[in-house]
Structure 1
């Protein structure tokens, strides 16, 4: 363990010890240290720089069946913080589900996931990368202005200590480059973007490539048309497909099941998707954006096939949510400040066998969706209705840009007919290939 992690571990351990002395029956503490640097440029000039550091503690205490949580900066007095948390717990209502994870579920082996890159990126290098990214975008014919380019680097250390003997730590890094540009002029302007974000600096997409893609995307969106209302085959670009997987993730979260706020609450063990759809959650992917050695409660997590050949196999469960549903945690507890929820790690719709190009050719006529907006998703009913833009497909080829339309359906029907392409990019914590949905309603003119 490096000195960075040992310092965090010592702080969390002292906080747990203080909680026990203050009268807690059980406790756990989290210590987090983060550091980030970023440079933004616009039209070749530095527009802003940002450098931040934070060092935070959170403590959760249990007094009988009562629980309370507090958070503070790392400089806070451990004894005072513990006494305040215990006093809060003593006047809190009983909670039949909350508590530390069962000791036999705690992580004992810590795999090497290669999550930390010690490469130090100077402010000058960040500036150069941001300038190069933007310049490549502005060099694309038809691009007329920039909304800004950026480059960033950061790291975070996470430590968890519990009163029943668990202690664990890991450290992760993150690097990024992005740019957003405008094509066209006046009322005919269109905007688009591109970015790359990785745990290791050497894995970032080249600045020139990111810029070129952003510029080309913006130019392709020029002169959009509206389309008449009707049924269409919708093909979702991976950027949009990831949001659809995000809706599925929310629908199979155990908290949503417990609160009866998901249309999939009674579907465990049933076919909820096309047999071509398999969804995997893998916390142990090397260099993964969502990888972790243990969950927010110290529970060992292993890869899970959430949906197998269309059949729902698991909910995302933390200890408390599992107990509420009469189940055991599956290591998907997510620490959010002073609370523990459930969520995914590296979640992906596994790739199919057809290429995106072939998928578009097979569609013949349809709508290739590159952007959605609005909040028209209801996980209780599955209703899906969002503003969209993209490209019209004719004779198996994308032809002209489309905007100011709405794409609608029901997630239950969408999943049952959805077909994945073979272009999965696992760089994202929520990753999906291009997805085709044969029959959706396009609302236009």
Structure 2
């Protein structure tokens, strides 16, 4: 880790102590990002951003305050500390506020095993533009595509460093390379739109722009002639590219912030069955080359793999130190934060148990129903789990795709829905949320 960020956090902590803070933690981050957008064969937009941001959290008793800045001068750091201490003295008391015990913080980790930063040279704007042009051309080459709404390529590199007065100090670097395309098929009122996008930590792992553009084009062309489906109670298959959103509602419900507020539909479900037997959700923050991997959390605790759901039974909330203290439990090392905010709990990498059938075999099992490939809007009651979302996709008859559909609404209750899921075996391993296509029985479908 280069020397620039660590000294900034040291200076922030020293300034906090001088200003009267009893404890403090500091964050410094810098990065650069380049993005290029192409439309109609011409360069539409090119952006480059570089910057450094610093953040300081100070604690006085059981009161805390956070401040941040993009100026790293000694004068600004001193002013930040004085302002933060003044704010903390006026803040309300919270008995769960506090840094980790020094004996609990991470001391050793293996960044090379996580492999979060691509050592390859940063791509130039010309290379990114070429990728975007190639993706657009591939989309336009698909029969039925009338235009490419957008084609983009981007690269980013970010470094962060965290330090605290309890003795923790550590940092790491991340890189990301992405290509995307949005294609439009048809003309006038009959136009349909779809997209494809890929992102990887290593540039060499990214699929070719032609593959990404062609996929966007095929997806849009397949949607031509969409109409409303029949209203009724039908089984639904959530396509792999959106199925993680369904599991995401469960992950949101076990977030410690929701649980301590009593606003989670799973607030009383610890130790209860929330998925069918045989299905588990496993979190592993140490997967190499995955964007959400991390050696330690935002409070300096060592991250570790854990069972969230095992054999259908809920085993763990997602907790930072504050929510863990409120519940009388231990942190799951799930804290995240930005320079201007205190820690809060968040999931990293999860995987749902996969099934033994392909998506096509899942459709055959379903027989007649809806294959959902896109969700529109959201109305989910976080307290009751009542679920209503707009959707589009394909109507399935006798296990085969019959025609595209749009302008429909799916409704149900998440607790019931998740107990009736059947997974396929098509999850993509490079994603941070590895979730296959999911068959859900008995949803209410509002269409014609």
With the shorter chain as reference, the TM-score category is over 0.9
Alignment of 1:290-309 (within 5 A): 290-309=292-311
TM-score (norm 2): 0.97
1:35 equivalenced with 2:32 (yes/no)? yes
Deviation at 1:217, TM superposition (A): 0.2
Q: Which of 217, 241, 256 is equivalent to 2:219?
A: 217
Distance across 2 between alignment mates of 1:276 and 1:133: 41
Distance across 2 between alignment mates of 1:225 and 1:409: 22
Deviation at 1:332, TM superposition (A): 0.1
1:70 equivalenced with 2:67 (yes/no)? yes
1:7 maps to: 4
Alignment of 1:385-424 (within 5 A): 385-424=388-427
Is the CA contact 1:276–1:352 (under 8 Å) kept in the aligned structure 2?
no
1:87 equivalenced with 2:86 (yes/no)? yes
2:335 maps to: 333
Distance across 2 between alignment mates of 1:93 and 1:369: 47
Q: In structure 1, the residue corresponding to 2:103 is in which secondary structure?
A: helix
Alignment of 1:371-382 (within 5 A): 371-382=374-385
Distance across 1 between alignment mates of 2:427 and 2:434: 7
1:44 equivalenced with 2:64 (yes/no)? no
Is the CA contact 1:277–1:418 (under 8 Å) kept in the aligned structure 2?
no
Structure 2 unaligned segments of length 5 or more: list them.
none
Distance across 2 between alignment mates of 1:67 and 1:373: 39
Distance across 2 between alignment mates of 1:13 and 1:141: 59
2:434 maps to: 431
TM-superposition CA deviations, 1:375-424 (whole Å, max 9, x none):
21112110111111100111111110011111111100111011111111
Deviation at 1:190, TM superposition (A): 0.1
1:159 maps to: 161
Alignment of 1:136-285 (within 5 A): 136-285=138-287
Q: Which of 118, 135, 153 is equivalent to 2:137?
A: 135
Deviation at 1:146, TM superposition (A): 1.1
1:114 maps to: 115
Distance across 2 between alignment mates of 1:416 and 1:55: 46
Q: In structure 1, the residue corresponding to 2:17 is in which secondary structure?
A: helix
Q: In structure 2, the residue corresponding to 1:105 is in which secondary structure?
A: coil
Distance across 1 between alignment mates of 2:88 and 2:182: 48
Is the CA contact 2:59–2:88 (under 8 Å) kept in the aligned structure 1?
yes
Structure 1 unaligned segments of length 5 or more: list them.
none
CA RMSD of aligned residues (A): 1.1
TM-superposition CA deviations, 1:194-220 (whole Å, max 9, x none):
000011101111111101110000000
Q: In structure 1, the residue corresponding to 2:337 is in which secondary structure?
A: strand
1:19 equivalenced with 2:19 (yes/no)? no
1:100 maps to: 99
Q: Which of 341, 358, 362 is equivalent to 1:359?
A: 362
Q: Which moved more, 1:258-267 or 1:354-363?
A: 354-363
1:347 equivalenced with 2:344 (yes/no)? no
Deviation at 1:188, TM superposition (A): 0.2
Q: In structure 1, the residue corresponding to 2:4 is in which secondary structure?
A: helix
Is the CA contact 1:24–1:63 (under 8 Å) kept in the aligned structure 2?
yes
Deviation at 1:169, TM superposition (A): 0.6
Distance across 2 between alignment mates of 1:284 and 1:439: 37
TM-superposition CA deviations, 1:307-337 (whole Å, max 9, x none):
1111001011000110011111110001133
Is the CA contact 2:100–2:166 (under 8 Å) kept in the aligned structure 1?
no
Distance across 2 between alignment mates of 1:152 and 1:128: 11
Q: When the two structures are aligned, how many residues end up with a matched partner?
A: 442
Is the CA contact 1:289–1:427 (under 8 Å) kept in the aligned structure 2?
no
Distance across 2 between alignment mates of 1:374 and 1:278: 28
TM-superposition CA deviations, 1:159-206 (whole Å, max 9, x none):
100001110010000000000010001100000000000111011111
Q: Which of 315, 318, 333 is equivalent to 2:317?
A: 315
Distance across 2 between alignment mates of 1:310 and 1:102: 34
Q: In structure 1, the residue corresponding to 2:26 is in which secondary structure?
A: strand
